[in-house]
Structure 1
Amino acid sequence: MSKDDVAAGGARPAEQRLLDVKNLEVTYANGAAAVRGVHLSVGAGQKLGVAGESGCGKSTLALALLRLLPAGTKVSGEILLDGEDILTMKWGRVRAVRWAGASIVFQGAMHSLNAVHRIGDQIAEPILLHKKATQTGAKTKVGELLEHVGLPAARADAYPHELSGGQRQRVMIAMALACDPRLIIADEPTTALDVMIQAQILRLIEQLVAEQDLGLMMISHDLAVLSDTCDRLAVMYAGRVVEEGPASEVYENARHPYGKALSAAFPRIGDAASRFAPRGLPGDPPDPSALPTGCTFHPRCPVAIDSCATDDQALRDAGPQHRSACVHAGSQLPAQPTSASAAESAS
């Protein structure tokens, strides 16, 4: 089995993969290299988390998967959905694949739903288009979908502003499931929700994946949420996957300093050290149109060595089914410094 076979989709034979992304490159019209050489795969019943700060290419990756990027964007590589390359499909075929083959749950349901149409009509629209259902059949399907995501069928007559944030997010999930897709792409599906509703939505997504044997790609900046929900994690920085592996392993034992910083950014319940001495990460991801030389993370890296400024780093083995694009990948990362005040508070 090649290294590509154990990329972020795990050790799953290629013929069983729903989604297989190979060497994906996305460059916007202004020259910004938003996605650079990404390899990912997702199989039936598998949950892949994609983590990273804003500006690291996560949402661009999601939009590229169904060719939703703006005109003038250059895209190369392969995006195989059930073995068929989305990038070479004719537009009629792409429209058929959207909703029915793969669908997206966008972040910010209030911005994604049409404020002047009832939610039942919005869920029914793709059913009528792709399933060629009758109005009566579509209405029945809408009621079933709403009940499946924990809402009464009668809520189909409501407008988006009449629903709570959690209810609107459930509507987005029902809409994504409307045409029985095999792959769900969830882009920050719980960002705007309180923690109780967030937990309910995450459990709902997990349940749907298990019951319907779906593939799930979930995108978030929150490594803790992804590690609790997903089987595997891929950490993106400056448009590349810099670490990937089993979710709990990446969260608990990151082998890339960026993955380690993301994990340490969230306090752990019962861990005084993380509560009183959180490790923040100064600075921001680089401008995609002006990337630094060498390892793109080296200007922010607390454990960089001289060669990091000139030598780019490819993913390499960092443990069982765990890879990291770091010069330190083969061993435990050196200790990352904290501020003196934080250290004193922790003690």
Structure 2
Amino acid sequence: MSTGGNDAAQRTNFLAVEDLSVTYRTGSGDVPAVRGVDLAVAPGTKLGVAGESGCGKSTIALALLRLLPSTARMSGRILLDGEDVLTMKWGRLRAVRWAGASIVFQGAMHSLNAVRRIGDQIAEPILLHEQRTPAEVRTRVSALLEQVGLPQQRAAAYPHELSGGQRQRVMIAMALACNPRLIIADEPTTALDVMIQAQILRLISGLVSDHGISMLMISHDLSVLADTCDRLAVMYAGRVVEEGAAHEVFSTPRHPYSEALSAAFPRIGDPASRRRPRGLPGDPPDPAALPAGCSFRPRCPAAQDRCAETDPALWRAGAERRAACVHVLSDEQAVELGVPPAPAAPSAAPPDRPANGADPAQPEEIR
């Protein structure tokens, strides 16, 4: 999934994030929120980004369209259709927002203007980016509302007159207003109940498929991403720790953190997983004081002494799979990469010989 600077890959991926790092300047020093992340989204495909709060997911979403505050310092490259967002002039960047790529924020009530009718808010990006008459804009707004399952009459409503699910549909309509080629969905269903969440996810997936749009969806819910996306990247402490086909990462994770996220969801028809839910003790590390070696080591049930000495990269972990964990390496690969070898398994103790000198491994009749 990583482009690795390959020109051919850049041409086939509408979005290519290369070695992206984001650091926030604070009164107590610099805080690294994203550390050397590579991501790619091909046209018409859906990439999910999962992880706990504070792992850097939303920072990446905002960085893609340069929406971060002035205290953020970014390095690396963010290529949208071959153009680097980080070096765009403001005029070009304004043209790319909404028309090239748009974003659906979590919490629609905080993103919509409470004193403007929703029809006017959907119309605003169309008026800014396209040359259309007022009548054409009204027709386009009506069509967008119908696309997301809302009656045309709701164009005259204010945000507070809509339910949570309806407001989220309005945000999706706004994201589609200028026919973008990429939609960034940042926790689009967090505040919704289970039934409405399922409806919104079906709606987003259907619209993406019907229009051939690329999508980057961010969520802490691994099961939602596994059902919605083609590929999945799991983040921890500002880095991607596993990536691969979404259903494979969810069902057969190769990194202990991905395994913990997957195990947090009870399996339907499995009473044992319901009676003994598995959690992950502890909290993510402070970005300003990361532990030595593997950042997941303090919480990892499979941690070894060598994990404190090795800062793992994304290593091959199967067909089109990568994981940042020493456990995916064979002994030969570890030697080649300069990683300390795995500790030797303890040898089984030989059985005690009885006092009469008989060998307990021999049958009684042979003794």
TM-score, length basis structure 2? 0.86
How far is 1:4 from its partner? 3.4
1:54 matched to 2:53? yes
How far is 1:45 from its partner? 1.0
How far is 1:282 from its partner? 1.0
Unaligned runs of 5+ in 1: 332-347
CA–CA separation in structure 2 for the residues paired with 1:249 and 1:212: 26
Match of 2:208 in 1: 209
CA–CA separation in structure 2 for the residues paired with 1:204 and 1:38: 29
CA–CA separation in structure 1 for the residues paired with 2:68 and 2:131: 27
CA deviation string 1:189-231 (max 9, x = no partner): 0111111111111111111111110000000000000000000
Match of 2:19 in 1: 23
Match of 1:345 in 2: none
How far is 1:5 from its partner? 4.4
1:127 matched to 2:123? no
CA deviation string 1:27-58 (max 9, x = no partner): 00121100000000001110000000000000
Match of 2:2 in 1: 4
Match of 1:339 in 2: none
CA–CA separation in structure 2 for the residues paired with 1:282 and 1:50: 22
C-alpha contact 1:146 1:174 (8 A) present in aligned 2: yes
How far is 1:277 from its partner? 1.4
226-235 or 270-279, larger mean C-alpha shift: 270-279
SS at match of 2:258: helix
CA–CA separation in structure 2 for the residues paired with 1:75 and 1:303: 34
Match of 2:194 in 1: 195
Greater relative CO, 1 or 2 (CA 8 Å, sep 6+): 1
C-alpha contact 1:47 1:217 (8 A) present in aligned 2: yes
How far is 1:330 from its partner? 4.1
C-alpha contact 1:52 1:236 (8 A) present in aligned 2: yes
- Aligned amino acid, residue 40 of structure 1: L
1:300 matched to 2:299? yes
C-alpha contact 1:106 1:188 (8 A) present in aligned 2: yes
Match of 1:344 in 2: none
C-alpha contact 1:183 1:214 (8 A) present in aligned 2: yes
Unaligned runs of 5+ in 2: 331-367
Aligned length: 325
CA–CA separation in structure 1 for the residues paired with 2:83 and 2:303: 41
Match of 2:83 in 1: 84
The share of aligned pairs that are identical, in percent, is: 71
SS at match of 2:296: coil
CA–CA separation in structure 1 for the residues paired with 2:153 and 2:2: 47
How far is 1:133 from its partner? 2.2
How far is 1:140 from its partner? 1.1
Match of 1:148 in 2: 147
The 5 Å alignment of 1:61-76 reads 61-76=60-75
CA deviation string 1:209-262 (max 9, x = no partner): 111100000000000000000000000000000000000100000000000000
CA deviation string 1:55-78 (max 9, x = no partner): 000000000000000002110000
How far is 1:153 from its partner? 1.1
The 5 Å alignment of 1:245-284 reads 245-284=244-283
CA–CA separation in structure 1 for the residues paired with 2:141 and 2:284: 42
Q: CA RMSD in A?
A: 1.4
- Aligned amino acid, residue 21 of structure 1: V
CA–CA separation in structure 1 for the residues paired with 2:137 and 2:286: 46
How far is 1:266 from its partner? 1.2
- Aligned amino acid, residue 161 of structure 2: E
How far is 1:273 from its partner? 2.3
C-alpha contact 1:6 1:321 (8 A) present in aligned 2: no
C-alpha contact 2:241 2:255 (8 A) present in aligned 1: yes
CA–CA separation in structure 1 for the residues paired with 2:196 and 2:4: 34
CA–CA separation in structure 2 for the residues paired with 1:326 and 1:154: 54
How far is 1:15 from its partner? 1.4
Bigger radius of gyration, 1 or 2?
A: 2
- Aligned amino acid, residue 57 of structure 2: K
CA–CA separation in structure 1 for the residues paired with 2:310 and 2:121: 50
